[in-house]
Amino acid sequence: MATNKMFFAGSGGQGILMMGQIVCSAALLEDKDSTFFPSYGPEMRGGTANCTVIISNKTISSPVIFESDCVVAMTAPSMIKFEPTLKPGGILFLNTSLIHQAPKRSDITIYEVPASELAKDLGNPRVANVIMLGAFARNTDIVAPKSIEQVLHDAFIAKGEKIVDLNLKALNLWQD
């Protein structure tokens, strides 16, 4: 496995930072090194939120990146800001429930996931980030979906089996 550099981006309250933390924790379960570098605006809900995640099988010297292999964008401003960071051949995941414009790049792979709409249909808009995580895990080989399932289970079991079941259902909801 090579080093994989990613941005997860959206608005505060969408679980953006949680997405990055889950991916890092899943990588640790797989004995990979990981870094998590959060960034968010002064307002928590509705402000900007993004994080840098690096996963590697070797020591990571810095959590800062300028070029990415993968971007997960939950809002249009996030897509506009982070699409240019993708390397040619990179992967862009778009929440098409909230992003209604096409990406400008033609040298990348694009996955269009109506995450917010699917979460609403599932009965809980708060799991849109988990739906996007499922799409991410199934369409990259960065961390295994089973590792993300384990991290979700461990993170939510204290809140009860219903919350765990909801998140696992959301993780497996969108199929390419």
160 pLDDT band, cuts 50/70/90, is very high
* CA–CA dist 15, 11 (Å, integer): 8
- Give the Å distances, CA to CA, from 56 to 28, 50, 75: 10, 20, 27
pTM over 0.95: no
pLDDT at 108: 98
Average confidence (pLDDT) over 105-129: 96
* CA–CA dist 98, 128 (Å, integer): 11
What does the pLDDT look like over 126-156, one tens digit per residue? 999 999 999 999 999 999 999 999 999 999 9
Q: Which residues contact 26 (CB under 8 A, 6 or more apart)?
A: 137, 143, 144, 147, 148, 150, 151
Domain boundaries, the chain: 4-171
CATH number of 4-171: 3.40.920.10
Q: Are strands 86-95 and 33-40 parallel, antiparallel or unpaired?
A: unpaired
Residue type, 8: F
